Amino acid sequence: MADDTTDTKSSNQMWGGRFASGPDAIMEEINASIGFDKKLFAQDIRGSIAHATMLAHQGIISADDKDKIVHGLNTILSEIESGNFEFSRQLEDIHMNVEARLATLIGPAAGRLHTARSRNDQVALDFRLWVKEELQKTEQMLTGLIAAFLDRAEEHAESVMPGFTHLQTAQPVTFGHHCMAYVEMFGRDRARVRHAIEHLDESPIGAAALAGTGYPIDRHMTAKALGFREPTRNSIDTVSDRDFAIEFLSIAAIAGMHLSRLAEEIVIWSTPQFGFVRLSDAFSTGSSIMPQKKNPDAAELVRAKTGRINGSLVALLTIMKGLPLAYSKDMQEDKEQVFDAADSLELAIAAMTGMVRDMTVNTARMKAAAGSGYSTATDLADWLVREAGLPFRDAHHVTGRAVALAESKGCDLAELPLSDLQAIHADITDKVYDVLTVEASVASRKSFGGTAPSEVRRQIAFWRARN
């Protein structure tokens, strides 16, 4: 008896039986995860309550012990929530911190909680629950961002701006159409989020260390109690799988890439040279030395957060790629990557939603820019095809000559006198001026998904019905 107890102070309370001494200080430092996995306390306690309830239902532990365990766990939950819980690094992680406190609170019954369970399925459960909740939050936030874009698109379904390819003026589009491009992107991100929620909706608890258990547990019962569709099917896969975390990070990386492209556009649009949008004071900063400046810091930081998220995705893929089945401690490194990416993604979506809602759109500036750079050249070529019967390639050539002439005269296409145009091609009539305005150009592009205001409104209605 004396032998059993002498070492419990220095060796681990949970597995002290086999160990003569406690860990080296460095061992403790590299091994402990409590510094970050304490974030999982609510999931850990929920999981333990479901597990204990099932154990009692199956007659594996007594109803009396179950009651003590559940009561103790609820006490711990409120202790942690109110900041009255002392986390210990010696106890390594959230699972053992909770269990050790439970032993102090309720005595020996606490030792029955870990029946038919391992920290391997326990951590898989806690983390899955956390990622599921984060995905649900992400889904809602994306819905908010889409709503902000739908409002701006509706407001600007007819506001003409230059459309770009290669960041060179290409053809006039509407700002509403441009906004709806982002709705498509964030709509795809949200679809990926929904798919990932469905994908991870399986309960790991009961896989135990890796091989399942000899106790007559009911995994369907715990799955249901924890809000999962069903239990996972293979216990080895269950404790070695972190696909759900990698899927979260991939989704975050793709959404981050979209957010970063938007951030880049906002940075460009808000320069005095472009002047397409003005950010609200709430989402910009000044300069300590240059009083005239209004800087798009939030957009720049969104662009930068994407780098962090990409780093987390690559980190976790790399952590997992060499691991033999089933659990290895390497997997403990999954959490910080996901937590950090989740913080970054949440902030980036929130900042972007605010910026999109608040920014002032300078429609006059956009319209002026839309007409410069010969943006209606394609409309001239299309007119020649339609009205003068030219093959498109010839029309392209004729238009090229008109553009060159306008360029040499320093004027727009619409400012060239008819005589100049007719000198280039005799069949051109003064009707051509109808298509050389940016409004006419935009209104003509009624093809499905095109930039005509009527089409943009149809796109908005489609998404309104799905948001």
Among 16, 37, 398, 416, binds ligand ARG (CB under 6 A): 37
Cis peptide before 326 (omega within 30 of 0): yes
CB of 119 to ligand ARG, least distance (A): 4
Site for ligand ARG contains 33 (CB under 6 A): yes
SS3 156: coil
Stretch that binds ligand ARG, among 41-49, 116-124, 145-153, 200-208 (CB under 6 A): 116-124
Among 61, 70, 80, 93, binds ligand ARG (CB under 6 A): 93
Site for ligand ARG contains 44 (CB under 6 A): no
Residue 417 exposed, middle or buried by CB count within 10 Å (0-12, 13-18, 19+): exposed
Length of the chain: 467
- Torsion-angle region of residue 107: left (phi > 0), alpha (psi -120 to 50) or beta? left
CA neighbor of 161 nearest in space, from 187, 145, 181, 142? 181
Stretch that binds ligand ARG, among 119-127, 342-350, 366-374, 449-457 (CB under 6 A): 119-127
Site for ligand ARG contains 132 (CB under 6 A): no
Site for ligand ARG contains 416 (CB under 6 A): no
Site for ligand ARG contains 338 (CB under 6 A): no
CB-CB contact of 331 with 320 (8 Å): yes
> C-alpha angle with apex 298: 293 to 304, nearest 5 degrees?
115
- Torsion-angle region of residue 45: left (phi > 0), alpha (psi -120 to 50) or beta? alpha
Site for ligand ARG contains 232 (CB under 6 A): no
Return all residues near 53 (Cβ < 8 A) that are at least 6 apart. 66, 70, 225
CB-CB contact of 146 with 95 (8 Å): no
CB atoms within 10 A of CB 151: 14
Residue with tokens 């920290």: 119
- Residues 381, 383, 385, 388: is their CA dihedral positive or negative? negative
Q: How many residues bind ligand ARG (CB under 6 A)?
A: 10
Catalytic annotation present for 287: yes
CB-CB contact of 245 with 316 (8 Å): yes
Catalytic annotation present for 454: no
Site for ligand ARG contains 65 (CB under 6 A): no
CB of 335 to ligand ARG, least distance (A): 6
CB of 212 to ligand ARG, least distance (A): 16
Site for ligand ARG contains 120 (CB under 6 A): yes
CB of 282 to ligand ARG, least distance (A): 39
CB of 333 to ligand ARG, least distance (A): 8
Give me the catalytic one of 166, 288, 408, 447: 166
Which helix H or strand E contains 171, and what residues bound it?
Answer: strand 168-174
Give me the catalytic one of 10, 21, 287, 454: 287
Return all residues near 100 (Cβ < 8 A) that are at least 6 apart. 13, 14, 88, 91
Nearer to ligand ARG, 23 or 144 (CB): 23
Nearer to ligand ARG, 102 or 180 (CB): 102
Residue with tokens 């230059």: 162
What is the pattern of x (binds ligand ARG, CB under 6 A) and - over residues 308-337? -------------------x-x-xx-----
Among 119, 152, 425, 445, binds ligand ARG (CB under 6 A): 119
Site for ligand ARG contains 91 (CB under 6 A): no
CB of 232 to ligand ARG, least distance (A): 17
Site for ligand ARG contains 375 (CB under 6 A): no
- Residues 7, 106, 126, 85: is their CA dihedral positive or negative? negative
Stretch that binds ligand ARG, among 44-52, 118-126, 157-165, 380-388 (CB under 6 A): 118-126
CA atoms within 13 A on the CB side of 10: 9
Binding site for ligand ARG (CB under 6 A): 33, 37, 93, 119-120, 123, 327, 329, 331-332
Q: Which residues are catalytic?
A: 166, 287
